[in-house]
Amino acid sequence: MKQKILVTGGAGYIGSHTAVELIERGYEVVIIDDLSNSEERVIDGIEAITGTRPDLAVFDICDEAKLELFFQGHPDVAAIIHFAASKAVGESVSKPLHYYRNNIVSLVNLLEVLPTTQAKGLVFSSSCTIYGQPDVLPVTEHAPVKKALSPYGNTKQICEEILQDAVTSGVDYRTIALRYFNPIGAHPSAEIGELPRGVPNNLVPFITQTGAGIREKISIFGDDYDTPDGTCVRDYIHVVDLAKAHVIATERILSGKSSEKYEYFNLGTGKGSSVKEIVEAFEKVSGKELNKTYAPRRPGDVEAVYADTSYANDELGWKSELELGDMIASAWKWEKKIRGIDS
């Protein structure tokens, strides 16, 4: 019989790609998503790729009673991957309490119900944002966690502490926090991808929307950083590579193989790319020249951050495989598909 994995936030960007990889590895996937930042048609996309339609339960995980009821119907969940959270850094500054409630209460609810289920543990979506501007690059998991620059970033730090404290209390389950660098791209089929609401904050959706003619121009925030070309450097990682790492982390929990009950890993490629390089990569892949302009630095941006991935490579046996060209090409294919652009 197939093992059942609960994917919270499975209708979202990273969750939907992970659902595909889990199904393709032979797992049964059940999704909880309140569709606050996603749409039900994402489930159609997962079905189109895999031939299997995961169950979707639409409710807010902060609702403890509904969560308990869910587990009564699914007592056989073997592990949980917890993606559900609010993720817009800027919005978290204007709505901090919403972020603290949604991101922290959802995790606490899951950890409280976990011991009453058969689940062996939980994989958590963390972020490189917890490192702030690291003193040493590439950044390893030993780098200090810096004071968060936003309520969103703070929720990730607090959630990691909650995971650690929870397992220290002697419970039976295991937890793994995965610290994502900058996930971009879409499934190569273009059946699923990122669906930002309104004006995108993130670089790549803004670029692809500019390429599609939805935005007039792309502003490059800052060209006077202490980096090779003056623009900020990030570690962009293909969402499919990221999704595969979640399957491996889940299997680590299922097998009880992890050395500690709480573990954390960097998920990146280990390679930094500048904003300028990303714009150029898009122009090369799409054959379109973008209308671009330089703008002042964006408040809160760190200058450069990229991962030391050796711990994830060695311990998880995982390595990112897809190149920047694959990331941009898949993001562009997806953008064209959702905008009905032919060539």
Interface ranges with ligand WQD (CB under 6 A):
87, 89, 127, 129, 182, 201-203, 206, 218-221, 232, 234, 275, 298, 301
In the complex, the smallest distance separating the C-beta of residue 39 from ligand WQD, rounded to whole angstroms, is 20
Nearer to ligand WQD among residue 25 and residue 101 (C-beta): 101
155 binds, options ligand WQD, ligand NAD, none, Cβ within 5 to 8 A by partner type: none
Nearer to ligand WQD among residue 109 and residue 274 (C-beta): 274
61 binds, options ligand NAD, ligand WQD, none, Cβ within 5 to 8 A by partner type: ligand NAD
173 binds, options ligand NAD, ligand WQD, none, Cβ within 5 to 8 A by partner type: none
Nearer to ligand WQD among residue 127 and residue 266 (C-beta): 127
Instruction: Give the residue among 111, 57, 153, 95 at the shortest CA–CA distance from 262.
Output: 111
32 binds, options ligand WQD, ligand NAD, none, Cβ within 5 to 8 A by partner type: ligand NAD
> Which residues are known catalytic residues?
152
In the complex, the smallest distance separating the C-beta of residue 54 from ligand WQD, rounded to whole angstroms, is 24
17 binds, options ligand WQD, ligand NAD, none, Cβ within 5 to 8 A by partner type: none
11 binds, options ligand NAD, ligand WQD, none, Cβ within 5 to 8 A by partner type: ligand NAD
In the complex, the smallest distance separating the C-beta of residue 60 from ligand NAD, rounded to whole angstroms, is 4
In the complex, the smallest distance separating the C-beta of residue 62 from ligand NAD, rounded to whole angstroms, is 5
3-state secondary structure the chain: CCCEEEEECCCCHHHHHHHHHHHHCCCEEEEECCCCCCCCHHHHHHHHHHCCCCEEECCCCCCHHHHHHHHHHCCCEEEEEECCCCCCHHHHHHCHHHHHHHHHHHHHHHHHHHHHCCCCEEEEEEEHHHHCCCCCCCECCCCCCCCCCCHHHHHHHHHHHHHHHHHHCCCCCEEEEEEECEEECCCCCCCCCCCCCCCCCCHHHHHHHHHCCCCCCEEEECCCCCCCCCCCEECEEEHHHHHHHHHHHHHHHHHCCCCCCEEEEEECCCCCEEHHHHHHHHHHHHCCCCCEEEECCCCCCCCECCECCHHHHHHHCCCCCCCHHHHHHHHHHHHHHHHCCCC
Residue type present at position 222:
G
Nearer to ligand WQD among residue 80 and residue 89 (C-beta): 89
C-alpha separations of 307 from 35, 128, 185 in Å = 31, 8, 18
35 CB neighbour count, 10 Å cutoff? 14
Instruction: Give the residue among 249, 252, 278, 253 at the shortest CA–CA distance from 266.
Output: 249
Nearer to ligand NAD among residue 34 and residue 241 (C-beta): 34
By beta carbon distance, the residue nearest ligand WQD is 232
301 binds, options ligand WQD, ligand NAD, none, Cβ within 5 to 8 A by partner type: ligand WQD
In the complex, the smallest distance separating the C-beta of residue 9 from ligand NAD, rounded to whole angstroms, is 3
In the complex, the smallest distance separating the C-beta of residue 18 from ligand NAD, rounded to whole angstroms, is 9
- Alpha-carbon distance 49 to 37, whole Å? 21
Nearer to ligand WQD among residue 71 and residue 306 (C-beta): 306
In the complex, the smallest distance separating the C-beta of residue 220 from ligand WQD, rounded to whole angstroms, is 4
Residues forming the site for ligand NAD (CB under 6 A): 9, 11-15, 32-38, 60-62, 83-87, 102, 106, 125, 127, 180, 183
Instruction: Give the residue among 150, 130, 152, 85 at the shortest CA–CA distance from 266.
Output: 130
By beta carbon distance, the residue nearest ligand NAD is 12
Nearer to ligand WQD among residue 122 and residue 178 (C-beta): 178
